[in-house]
Amino acid sequence: MSRRRDFARISRGLRFRLTTSYAVLFTLIFAMVALFLRERLETSLDKQVVAKVDGDWGAMKGYMRIEACPDLDNKLTTAWYYDQEDPDETTIVFDLRKIYMVADQNGNPILDCASREAAVSTAYEDIGVEKPALIQQHVREILAASPKQKFYLDRKTTKGEPVKVRYGIVYAEGHRAPFYVAVGTLYSDKLTVLHEFTWIYIGVIPGALILGSLLGFFMAARALKPVLAVAQAAQRISGSNLSLRIPTREAGDELDYLTLTFNRMIERLEASFQQIRQFSTDVSHELRTPITAIRGQLEVALFTAKTTDQYREAMFNALQDIDRLSQIVRALLLLSQAESGQLVLQKARVDLREVVDDIVEQFQIPAEAAGLKLTAELPPECPAQVDRVQIERMLTNLLSNAIKFTPEGGRVRTVLRCLADGIELTVEDNGRGIPTEDLPHIFDRFYRVAGDGAAPGPEQGLGLGLSFVAWIVKAHGGKIEVDSTPGKGTCFTITLPGEGVGSDTLELVGQA
């Protein structure tokens, strides 16, 4: 059972599949080449046999004549004319006379003048002399056909060897009646060559199979080695050692691309892990401060307070810290809901002019109290598809920061522009500004510019306001930019997509 499962696992592997594909491919190619070559070989051998029998036929007509034989009562017989002293001619004629026959037009073999025997070779008798009727039919066919046409027969010896026979007619000088002549050539050599070829190939195909399999096996092993290396390297990477990277082979191939993609993914994972770690540290730190303070207040109440006023003061302080605690928890909860996508934007068509006007109005009193001039430049109307509550929260955060960080006598200016390709909202102050080195971090959770936390107390910010602003802008498919010069002021510019445009998704891309 387990062996069967092992086989199933191996056969699903890339290496096995590549190997089988190679083997099958090799075998198919070899088989096809073999078939093609065999076909070509057979045709070419056939042509050779035909050329040989044609040559024999021509030689026959040159060396043999049909004429009256004085020794046989001047009967018409075959007579061979060649130089008997010449060994070449003797051999040629000897070969010609191996498979031949000559008959009259009625199909009766005639005699040979020299040997006084029938002009039919023993080998021809072996392949079977045509019946007189067949010879008569052949003669008729030849007479009816064009003089250029050639006639062949395929015969076999009693041993089964193939013989190609060419037949035709010749005339005796001074006679009108044609004579039937057939000459044959044995071509068992051709078959031997074909058989040898076939057997060689039958032997070669398993060889090709083995070669293809071996080649496939090694090629697959070579090709898959880096994949396995990548997999092993990936296995070593866990939550605690995300700094590990898979080394690239610098081959510039698909596997390097895969490795790079993998490494980039791990980089992003590492960044998220780091963020989560930082977040937990920040949260515990933020919570610890008020808790320690509450503990201190209560200890004071318990061990040193004597009068009711002292008790009251300790209680009051503790309550303030508890307020701050619940404020942090509420803000965190909201932010985590936003980031996990649980906070769904309630988008509706609203007039942003009205929204901005309302909020700026609400801030007039605190601005006046801080000795600031708060102004708003608004278009007559600015319809947009947004979540009113979140946009109000966004503007509230920006305005409260501007008022908080602008000294007395300063001014805060809010400008809303309804442009053709989107909406632009700026909140600008001429306050203390943000140091350049802090600018990239102000949207991080719990980030406060050094010095803000110098006076801990209920007014101290949580460092969460801008994270929330950033989330709201992104959730609306917008963009936030900040421009600040220390000592001169800060300007936040938010661009939101025009009416109806924008994303409904709550996914927070990047950090809050």
Nearer to ligand ADP, 62 or 440 (CB): 440
- Of 166 and 432, the one with the shorter C-beta distance to ligand ADP is 432
User: Given candidates 463, 478, 497, 502, which one binds ligand ADP under the rule CB under 6 A?
Assistant: 463
Contact region for ligand ADP (CB under 6 A) — 5-13, 99-107, 153-161, 446-454? 446-454
> Can residue 431 be called a binding residue for ligand ADP (CB under 6 A)?
yes
Q: With H, G, I as helix, E, B as strand and everything else as coil, classify residue 349.
A: strand
H/E stretch holding 268: helix 254-299
Least CB distance to ligand ADP at residue 289 (A): 14
Site track for ligand ADP across 464-493, x = CB under 6 A = xxx-----------------------x---
From residue 66 to residue 95, what is the string marking binding to ligand ADP with x (rule CB under 6 A)? Answer: ------------------------------
User: Is 432 an interacting residue with respect to ligand ADP (CB under 6 A)?
Assistant: yes
The closest alpha carbon to 157, from 133, 122, 192, belongs to 122
Q: Is 270 helix (H, G, I), strand (E, B) or coil?
A: helix
Q: Per CB under 6 A, which region of 141-149, 155-163, 168-176, 459-467 contacts ligand ADP?
A: 459-467
Residue 512 binding ligand ADP, by CB under 6 A: no
Q: Residue 229, CB half-sphere, CA atoms under 13 Å: how many? A: 15
Q: Binding to ligand ADP (CB under 6 A): which residues in 398-417?
A: 401-402, 405
CB of 357 to ligand ADP, least distance (A): 20
Smallest distance, ligand ADP to C-beta of residue 406, A: 7
How far is residue 194's CA from residue 40's CA, in Å, rounded to a whole number? Answer: 11
For 251, counting Cβ atoms within 10 Å of its Cβ (0-12 exposed, 13-18 middle, 19+ buried), the class is exposed
Convert residues 241-260 into a mask of x (bound to ligand ADP by CB under 6 A) and - (unbound): --------------------
With beta carbons less than 8 A apart as the criterion, state whether 195 and 54 touch: no
Which tokens in the block code for residue 450? 């050094």
Give least dist CB 462 to ligand ADP, A: 5
- Binding test (CB under 6 A) with ligand ADP, winner from 461, 478, 497, 502: 461
Is 74 in contact with 68 (CB distance < 8 Å)? yes
Angle at 161 between CA 157 and CA 162, to 5 degrees: 90
Which residue lies nearer to ligand ADP by CB, 62 or 486? 486
Give the integer Cα–Cα distance in Å for 61 and 79. 11
Q: What angle do CA 503, 504, 509 make, to 5 degrees?
A: 65
111 vs 470 by CB, closer to ligand ADP:
470
Compute the least distance from the CB of residue 386 to ligand ADP, in Å: 21
**Is residue 434 part of the contact set for ligand ADP (CB under 6 A)?**
yes
Contacts of 115 by beta carbon, 8 Å cutoff, 6+ apart: none
Q: CB 363 → ligand ADP: shortest distance, Å?
A: 13
Q: Which is nearer to ligand ADP, 135 or 328 (CB)?
A: 328
Residue number with the smallest Cβ distance to ligand ADP: 461
Residue count (the chain): 512
Instruction: Please compute, for residue 190, the number of CA atoms within 13 A of its CA located in the half-sphere on the CB side.
Output: 21
Of the candidates 67, 130, 387, 429, which one interacts with ligand ADP according to CB under 6 A? 429
Does residue 494 belong to the site contacting ligand ADP (CB under 6 A)? no
Residue placing its CB nearer to ligand ADP in the complex, 103 or 402: 402
Amino acid at position 495, single letter: T
CA dihedral 393, 398, 403, 409 (to 10 degrees): -140
Q: Which is nearer to ligand ADP, 466 or 494 (CB)?
A: 466
448 binds ligand ADP (CB under 6 A): yes
The residue type of 90 is T
DSSP assignments along 464-478, one per residue: -HHHHHHHHHHHTT-
Token look-up 């070593």 returns 236
What is the rounded distance in angstroms from the CA atom of residue 31 to the CA atom of residue 374? 91
The answer to whether the beta carbons of residues 111 and 122 sit under 8 Å apart is no
Does 425 sit near ligand ADP (CB under 6 A)? no
- Residue pair 372/398 in contact by the 8 Å Cβ criterion: no
Residue by residue, DSSP assigns 58-123 as HHHHHHEEEEEEGGGTTEEEEEE---TT-HHHHHHHHHHTTSEEEEETTS-B-BBTTT-SBSB-HH
Say which DSSP state 437 is in: T
Q: Of 216 and 489, which CB lies nearer to ligand ADP in the complex structure?
A: 489
Closer to ligand ADP by CB, 87 or 457: give it: 457
Of 241, 57, 77, 88, give the one whose Cα is nearest residue 152. 57
- Candidates 256, 351, 424, 452; binder of ligand ADP (CB under 6 A) is 452
Number of residues that bind ligand ADP (CB under 6 A): 21
Q: How far is the CB of 411 from ligand ADP (least distance, A)?
A: 12
According to CB under 6 A, which residues from 341 to 400 bind ligand ADP?
A: 397
Closest distance between ligand ADP and the C-beta of residue 275, in Å?
Answer: 16
Q: C-beta of 354: minimal distance to ligand ADP in Å?
A: 24
In this structure, what DSSP letter does residue 187 have?
A: -
Binding segment (CB under 6 A) for ligand ADP, from list 67-75, 213-221, 372-380, 460-468? 460-468
DSSP type of residue 302: I
Q: Which residues bind ligand ADP (CB under 6 A)?
A: 397, 401-402, 405, 429, 431-434, 442, 447-449, 452, 461-466, 490
